[in-house]
Amino acid sequence: MIQAFIFDLDGVITDTADLHFRAWKKCAGKLGIDIDLTFNERLKGVDRIGSLERILEFGGKSNHYSLEEKLKIAEDKNDYYKKLILDVNPKDILPGIHSLLVEIKRGGYKIGLASASKNAPTIIKSLEIDEFFDAKADPSTIANSKPAPDIFLQAASILEVEPTECIGIEDASAGIESIKKAGMFAVGVGDPEYLKEADYLVNSTEELTLENMLKAWNLK
Ligand code: B16
Ligand code: MG
């Protein structure tokens, strides 16, 4: 039986990808690297330092910076990103997500968060949906980021449920891989081209309902 639903944040609950992109574009520009929205797809669900590594590789500058310098660049990006998320408010919740959280809670299921973002707790508060979450995995305590299963497993462990009793919801291919490796049922939101491994796929958050997800799980 399903006991819990574990959500990714960026791309599932709200769309912070554009804000991450603006912050990275500014920092990458200072390094002489120009990134575009197509490249940005490769940063979704990837943690902060992992994102910087991908940007440097894209710009052919993988070996140009020391670890200390990279940490400073990542810190600058985060300072700028934190300014951008000051404006986040309940209107930024993606369509259908608030009613889905209400529906899941009414159904008696637990709700967890498995975001790679260290800013996730702040964003969840700004969206005014903190009360729905029974557990939030802490990415700063996780050894291996997505696509490793660690973050989804930590959320299940805090919720005190087995991974097989969880449905994970993700928009990024690294995230779907993470859910599958954790042994959970994976719901993908977005482009089938990137999310081939999902057990159940919808085009947008509006199509996510408790009934559809449980139906898909029953059919698996
Ligand atoms: P931060 P998710 C991810 O969020 C973003 O998709 C990714 O672009 C970002 O680099 C990562 O969080 C880390 O975020 O720099 O705020 O710690 O999709 O896992 O909710
Ligand atoms: Mg995401």
- pLDDT tens column, 105-125: 999 999 999 999 999 999 999
Burial of 41 (0-12, 13-18, 19+ CB in 10 A): middle
Q: Is the pLDDT of residue 220 over 90?
A: no
34 is catalytic: no
* Full DSSP string of 182-200: TT-EEEEES-TTT-TT-SE
Residue whose pair of structure tokens reads 């999902």 in the numeric block: 198
79: CB partners within 8 A, 6+ apart: none
Nearest CA to ligand 1 atom 5: 45
* pTM to 2 decimal places: 0.94
User: What value does the CA radius of gyration of the chain take, rounded to a whole number of Å?
Assistant: 17
Strand partners, 200: 187
168 Cα to the center of ligand 2, angstroms: 12
What pLDDT was estimated at residue 22?
A: 96
Q: Is the pLDDT of residue 95 over 90?
A: yes
Residues 117-157 have pLDDT tens digits of: 999 999 999 999 999 999 999 999 999 999 999 999 999 99
Contact 139, 47 (CB under 8 A): yes
Cβ of 119 below 6 Å from ligand 1? yes
Contact 3, 161 (CB under 8 A): yes
Contact 170, 12 (CB under 8 A): yes
- Tell which atom from ligand 1 comes closest to the C-alpha of 118: 17
202 Cα to the center of ligand 1, angstroms: 21
Residues 12-52 have pLDDT tens digits of: 999 999 999 999 999 999 999 999 998 998 898 899 999 99
Cβ of 177 below 6 Å from ligand 1? no
Closest by CA to 167, choosing from 124, 104, 121, is 104
Please tell me what DSSP assigns to residue 14: B
10 is catalytic: yes
Closest by CA to 166, choosing from 99, 113, 103, is 113
Bond from prior residue into 147 cis (ω within 30 degrees of 0): yes
Please list the alpha-helical segments (H only) found in 42-196.
48-58, 67-84, 97-106, 120-126, 150-159, 173-181
Cα torsion angle, 15, 23, 149, 89, sign: negative
Nearest ligand to the CA atom of 138: 1
Contact 214, 103 (CB under 8 A): no
Nearest ligand to the CA atom of 140: 1
Residue whose pair of structure tokens reads 């951008």 in the numeric block: 84
41 Cα to the center of ligand 1, angstroms: 12
116 Cα to the center of ligand 2, angstroms: 8
Tokens at 39, concatenated: 């490249």
- Tell which atom from ligand 1 comes closest to the C-alpha of 20: 8
Among candidate residues 10, 47, 150, 199, the one labeled active-site is: 10
